[in-house]
Amino acid sequence: MVTIRAVDESELEAFAALDATTPGLATTIRELWAEGSGRPAWTLVAEDEGVPVGRAALFTEELGCGLPIREGRLAGLWVKRETESATAAAQRLLDRATELASGETPFIERRLNAELHHDIGFWQAALLDAGFSLFQEKQGFVWTDAGQALPAPTRLSFRPRSEIGAEAYAAAMAASIPGTLDRNDRFYLDACGAEGWGREMAGALEAGDEDAWQVAREPDGTLAGYVAVGAFDEGVGTIAHIGVAPNRRGRGYVDELMRAANRAARARGYRSVLSDVDVDNSPMLAAMERNGHRPGVRPWHVWAYRREVAPR
């Protein structure tokens, strides 16, 4: 019979070592404990007759926008698949984490990524069986800088955040986000409002990317949209965000923004760009491919599952 217990602080290294594919997990969880985002009581191991067959660590993080709401997350999720108790271990870990989250967060989210996680099909089924639902799915795209000619935008002018400042950039984001087809952005937009969302997103700028975060305007100064290119990994960038102002959609401006993104990535020295797009956002999926960003180059594909947590 599978039982669930919290680990003692002295067991953290052994907890992390249960799955060798997650290096650094002990350090991550220890940091979560230190900052109060996680707790030893939330760090769970599943055992079958005293033998570890699964693990999960619940933690929470601020939703943002100054709201007194924390979001639940799961780290280190693993079960020993070759055992008969794998399915039961997964269910009991997910159920126990949800019980512990009561009164701490309105929901728990678990993301699965085909490039980073094993046994995607098993965990998709386990999450659905445990009461999680699919919140969002995103397709990964890769653009590679092979020295090809990069057309400059022709109808819009661009100014970087380094010139216009953080406040103006946040305002451009806020003005462009209404009507977004991205489910994650819609959730935070509903929670924060457009201005709060814009301020929160603008605060995600990494040092050195000020010139790669750009606002686009028509010749008369009318806001057309924005694009933000940032670092993903060593030598790899990402389109952190992109948006066309609602009253300027349908004019092909997304291609102008994508051209600016490609040129900004080259200026930053990125050899490639890995970005992902909500699979419900058909216009953006098509725009990525029109501008040289290809699906399937890397197995990057993300599913986000959420389960509501009952209040205490």
Structural domain contains residue 96: yes
Please indicate, yes or no, whether residues 192 and 102 belong to a single structural domain of this protein: no
End of a domain among 110, 131, 152?
Answer: 131
CA–CA separation, 60 vs 24, rounded Å? 19
pLDDT of 184-193, one tens digit each?
Answer: 999 999 999 9
> Is residue 4 scored above 90 in pLDDT?
yes
Taking only the tens place, the pLDDT of each residue in 291-302 is 999 999 999 999
DSSP state of 221: S
Picking from 131, 157, 175, the residue at the C-terminal end of a domain is 131
Instruction: Specify if 115 maps to a domain.
Output: yes
From 131, 153, 173, the end of a domain falls on 131
Together in a domain, 158 and 261:
yes
Q: Does residue 92 carry a pLDDT above 90? A: yes
Asked if residue 20 belongs to a domain, the reply is: yes
CB of 181 closer than 8 Å to CB of 278: yes
Q: Are residues 112 and 165 in the same domain?
A: no
Side-chain-side CA neighbours of 209 within 13 Å: the count stands at 23
What confidence score (pLDDT) does residue 101 get?
98
pLDDT, residue 18, reads 96
Average pLDDT on 55-77 reads: 96
In a domain, 88, yes or no: yes
pLDDT mean across residues, the chain: 97
Same domain for 281 and 161, yes or no, is yes
- Tell me, yes or no, whether 94 lies in a domain: yes
Percent of the chain with pLDDT over 90: 96
Give the pLDDT confidence of 191-235 residue by residue, as tens digits: 999 999 999 999 999 999 999 999 999 999 999 999 999 999 999
Confidence of residue 312 (pLDDT cuts 50, 70, 90): confident
Output the DSSP codes for 287-302: HHHHTT-EETSS--EE
Does residue 64 belong to any structural domain of this protein? yes
Whether residue 156 is found in the same domain as residue 295: yes
Domain that holds residue 101: 2-131
Query: Is 307 contained in some domain?
Result: no
Q: Does one domain contain both 31 and 166?
A: no
Cβ-count burial 95-124 (b if 16+ within 10 Å, e if not): ebbbebbeebbebbbbbbbeeebeeeeebe
The answer to whether residues 192 and 96 belong to one domain is: no
Domain count within the chain: 2
pLDDT band at 130 (very low <50, low <70, confident <90, very high): very high
- Over pLDDT 70: what percentage of the chain? 100
Q: Which residues contact 152 (CB under 8 A, 6 or more apart)?
A: 259, 263
Please tell me the predicted confidence (pLDDT) of residue 249.
98
Question: How many Cβ atoms are within 10 Å of 28's Cβ, its own excluded?
Answer: 17
Task: Return the CATH number at 192.
Answer: 3.40.630.30
Position 173 scores a pLDDT of 98
pLDDT of residue 118: 86
**64 and 90 inside one domain:** yes
Does residue 268 sit within a domain? Answer: yes
Asked if 178 and 220 sit in the same domain, the reply is: yes
Q: Are residues 198 and 167 in the same domain?
A: yes
**pLDDT score recorded for residue 39:** 97
- Is the domain of 148 the same as that of 123? no
Q: Are residues 163 and 260 in the same domain?
A: yes
pTM of the model: 0.95
